[in-house]
């Protein structure tokens, strides 16, 4: 990206798409063998492919990278298709949360020839954003702020109701470029606190999307997470030896990027998202992104009969579904399992996952 008109030395923009998660709240369709980011939930494309496509016109395909674990390589390659370059997958030896994962990815980019002044846009693979143009514009704005002001720019979601499932970003003073300094990061609040945050107008939802130069991010690791940064030289030297890399990487603490850097750094600013956003945290979230049919959300089925049935969410790609005199249910069926529960209890899917983990005879369902 040419920043000379903004008095910024020229730089390239990279995309890091974080795709190593398990997505257990979408069980039984999302499992360790095929996690949520590889599912076609809101279109004929997987969530991962939709995420990559959002960077069209913003990041060249050869500079888009999926970050995942080796076990998911086949799914990642199949879903990405031609949306990444030949070397477009960075493998994390094991899941160590987002801070070590991002740290390793930055080292990989440098080893592949990226400049320290190049900028990276880091986003999750499994969110839904329908307004691609709005997303592209905000990423471009964030990139200019990140490069010109040498800041970490987080993209904040203007909240529209008191959500208790997201972290919050407290706004500080306004800065040039349409953003604000970040005053603090807040953990997921209770309902009363979330109502206060919403009423104040001083907060964003934390969507886990941010943009910064490689050198600024590494500098913040060195300053705020030296217990991770101390592995820099060793990781750089052994990056192409996966056996050695696995051994060393396993010594790094498992920690989120929010805890390691964002909550400690004085170099974080926020700009508001000017696009729709849904993190698809659980089955009931599909209600906001899939059009209603006959009063129900029919994501996929092989036919249906509905009689006095409303407000239900149906995902049964291979089966005929009949619902009579029921409302507000989630019905999910595949070849191996059936899930039925009220929409209001959608978070309780994790109880099923915990049960399956405790029973050796059912681990094949995970």
> Which of 111, 146, 127 shows the shortest CA–CA distance to 1?
146
DSSP string, 192-216: HHHHHHHHHT-EEEEEEEEEEEHHH
For residue 143, pLDDT beyond 90: yes
Mean local confidence (pLDDT), 95-99: 90
Instruction: Report phi then psi at 99, rounded to 5.
Output: -65, -55
Mean local confidence (pLDDT), 68-84: 92
For residues 232 and 216, what is the distance between their CA atoms, to the nearest angstrom?
15
For residue 6, pLDDT beyond 70: no
Mean local confidence (pLDDT), 222-247: 96
Q: Are 213 and 181 in contact (CB under 8 A)?
A: no
Mean local confidence (pLDDT), 199-215: 96
- The larger pLDDT score, comparing residue 218 to residue 86, is at 218
Conformation bin of residue 308: beta by default, left when phi > 0, alpha when psi is -120 to 50 = left
For residues 250 and 95, what is the distance between their CA atoms, to the nearest angstrom?
9
For residue 7, pLDDT beyond 70: no
Task: Give the pLDDT confidence score for residue 22 in this predicted structure.
Answer: 75
Task: Give the pLDDT confidence score for residue 19 in this predicted structure.
Answer: 93
Task: Give the pLDDT confidence score for residue 1 in this predicted structure.
Answer: 62
For residue 5, pLDDT beyond 60: no
Task: Give the pLDDT confidence score for residue 239 in this predicted structure.
Answer: 94
Q: Residues 301-326: pLDDT tens digits?
A: 999 999 999 999 999 999 999 999 99
For residue 131, pLDDT beyond 60: yes
E strand or H helix at 249: helix 242-249
Q: Residues 280-301: pLDDT tens digits?
A: 889 999 998 999 999 999 999 9
Q: Are 121 and 139 in contact (CB under 8 A)?
A: yes
For residues 82 and 120, what is the distance between their CA atoms, to the nearest angstrom?
20
Residue 354: exposed, middle, or buried by beta-carbon count in 10 A (0-12, 13-18, 19+)? exposed
Task: Give the pLDDT confidence score for residue 23 in this predicted structure.
Answer: 74
> Which of 262, 197, 280 shows the shortest CA–CA distance to 225?
262
For residues 192 and 218, what is the distance between their CA atoms, to the nearest angstrom?
37
Instruction: Report phi then psi at 139, rounded to 5.
Output: -60, -40
Structure tokens, 296: 């129900």
Task: Give the pLDDT confidence score for residue 154 in this predicted structure.
Answer: 97
Query: For the chain, what percent of residues have pLDDT higher than 70?
Result: 98
E strand or H helix at 121: strand 119-124
For residues 207 and 217, what is the distance between their CA atoms, to the nearest angstrom?
18
Q: Residues 157-168: pLDDT tens digits?
A: 999 999 988 999
Mean local confidence (pLDDT), 216-235: 97
With a CB cutoff of 8 Å and minimum separation 6, the contacts of 302 are 316, 317, 318, 319, 320
b/e burial code for range 1-36 (CB count within 10 A of at least 16 → b)? bebeeeebeebbbbbbbbbbbbbbbbbbbbbeeebb
> Which of 312, 340, 344, 345 shows the shortest CA–CA distance to 326?
312
pLDDT band at 231 (very low <50, low <70, confident <90, very high): very high
For residues 30 and 91, what is the distance between their CA atoms, to the nearest angstrom?
20
Task: Give the pLDDT confidence score for residue 9 in this predicted structure.
Answer: 78
Mean local confidence (pLDDT), 242-261: 95
Mean local confidence (pLDDT), 212-235: 97
Q: Are 169 and 187 in contact (CB under 8 A)?
A: no
For residues 152 and 216, what is the distance between their CA atoms, to the nearest angstrom?
7
* Inter-CA distances, 235 with 178, 224, 249, 254, Å: 37, 19, 8, 16
Query: Residue written as tokens 């990559």?
Result: 52
Structure tokens, 57: 């016109």
- Domains of the chain, earliest start first: 4-272 (3.90.550.10), 283-365 (no CATH)
pTM above 0.75, yes or no: yes
E strand or H helix at 147: helix 132-149
């Amino acid at each position: 990206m040419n920043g000379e008109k903004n008095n910024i030395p020229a730089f390239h923009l990279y995309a890091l798409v974080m795709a190593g998660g398990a997505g257990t709240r979408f069980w039984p369709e999302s499992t360790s063998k095929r996690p949520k980011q590889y599912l076609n939930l809101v279109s004929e494309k997987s969530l991962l492919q939709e995420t990559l496509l959002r960077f069209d016109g913003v990041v060249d395909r050869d500079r888009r990278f999926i970050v995942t674990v080796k076990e998911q390589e086949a799914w990642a390659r199949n879903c990405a298709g031609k949306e990444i370059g030949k070397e477009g997958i960075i493998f994390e030896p094991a899941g160590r949360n987002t801070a070590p994962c991002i740290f390793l990815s930055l080292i990989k980019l440098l080893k592949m020839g990226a400049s320290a002044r190049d900028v990276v846009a880091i986003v999750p693979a499994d969110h839904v954003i329908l307004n691609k143009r709005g997303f592209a514009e905000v990423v471009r704005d964030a990139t200019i702020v990140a490069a010109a002001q040498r800041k970490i720019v987080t993209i904040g979601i203007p909240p529209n109701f008191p959500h208790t499932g997201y972290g919050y970003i407290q706004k500080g003073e306004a800065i040039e470029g349409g953003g604000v300094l970040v005053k603090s990061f807040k953990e997921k609040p209770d309902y009363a606190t979330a109502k206060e945050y919403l009423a104040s107008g001083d907060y964003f939802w934390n969507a886990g999307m941010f943009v910064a130069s490689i050198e600024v991010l590494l500098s913040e690791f060195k300053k705020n997470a030296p217990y991770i940064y101390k592995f820099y030289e060793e990781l750089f030297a052994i990056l192409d030896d996966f056996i050695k890399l696995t051994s060393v990487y396993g010594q790094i603490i498992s920690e989120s990027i929010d805890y390691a850097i964002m909550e400690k750094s004085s170099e974080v600013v926020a700009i508001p998202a000017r696009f729709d956003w849904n993190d698809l945290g659980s089955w009931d979230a599909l209600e906001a992104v899939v059009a209603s049919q006959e009063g129900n959300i029919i994501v996929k089925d092989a036919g249906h009969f509905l009689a006095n049935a409303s407000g239900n969410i149906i995902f049964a790609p291979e089966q005929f579904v009949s619902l009579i005199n029921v409302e507000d249910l989630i019905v999910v069926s595949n070849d191996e399992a059936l899930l039925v529960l009220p929409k209001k209890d959608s978070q309780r899917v994790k109880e099923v996952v915990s049960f399956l983990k405790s029973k050796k005879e059912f681990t094949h369902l995970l």
